[in-house]
Structure 1
Amino acid sequence: MSEKKHRVSRRQFLNYTLTGVGGFMAAGMMMPMVRFALDPVLRPAEEQDLVQVVKVEEITNEPQRFDFKIKQVDAWYESEETRSAWVYKDGEKIVALSPICKHLGCTVNWNSDPANPNKFFCPCHYGLYEKNGKNVPGTPPLAPLDVYDHAVKDSYLFLGKAKPRKEA
């Protein structure tokens, strides 16, 4: 074999060198942009603080809807979002349910369907939930309503994040 077949010409050497240097420069410029785009995704989620909603003495045995505002952070944008909860007393225990139907995300209402009294009713696809938030078998929802984290401080109910129930 001759050496001419395996030698790198000046033109090829410059081509390889410029391609490598250009690649390193492009990577150097792209890394901050990629980091800027992915940083909010890679940051751990912040725990939501509990928000004061209502005086405990105003809560009855019948579910009532209470609206409250939370501070929400989407990447770099901070805003206030209005949330709702169905709250009632079950003996001495306070229950706070999310009004979001687990079928398609519509809003459920308490005791709004004359054919199904004392139940949560979703008007979108006629979903039904018992008073305790469990879905009625044979209706569209496949899971019970989410339950809010809650605490009572200084005779006020504070609500946190709605979490799915653990099926027993």
Structure 2
Amino acid sequence: MVPHKVFVKKAMNFTPQTSNNKLYITIYGTMRIETKEIHLRWVEMKRPLGVSLISYFYMFGAGVMILTAIFFNANADEFGIAERFGIPNVPERIFRMIVAMGSLLIIYGYMRLKRWGFWLMIVYSLGFGVISYGLLFSHDKQPFIGNLIWSVIVLVYTLCVRRSFFTREKKYYEH
């Protein structure tokens, strides 16, 4: 007996052509040719809990950064965020707003499990980790140790759940 062969039109990167998301396959067997109606349903990956927690933490941080840029004396710190990035000539309030808005953009993609959100979070974590590492030796302050550890945790966790950012499951069921 010859095994059944299933031929699916546009099996790779299939985009439904009709609004009812039906896909027809033809099964070629030894004695009969049969066409079946298969319904296609896209199932979005569920967001891992850690991605949500990291995102909420960064949203809180961005909100605090925006509030401190608007309502508080930005020059009250011993050294500001712009100085930490190595550009002390940029006004502190403007730089805080830029970093906060950039963080919110990254968080949006990260929470929605977008590929670009994954890559931007990797770059963001690496960048802040390297900056914290450098400041740890130049200023010898405890907060930079915490920032470095947090950046490493976010980086490792994001790499561990990378599949969530790069898969979009397709489920087929017969009707």
Tell whether the structures are fold-level matches, with TM greater than 0.5.
Answer: no
Q: Which has the higher contact order (CA 8 A, sep 6+)?
A: 2
Larger Rg: 1
Of Structure 1 and Structure 2, which has the larger fraction of its residues in helix? 2
TM-score by length of 1: 0.24
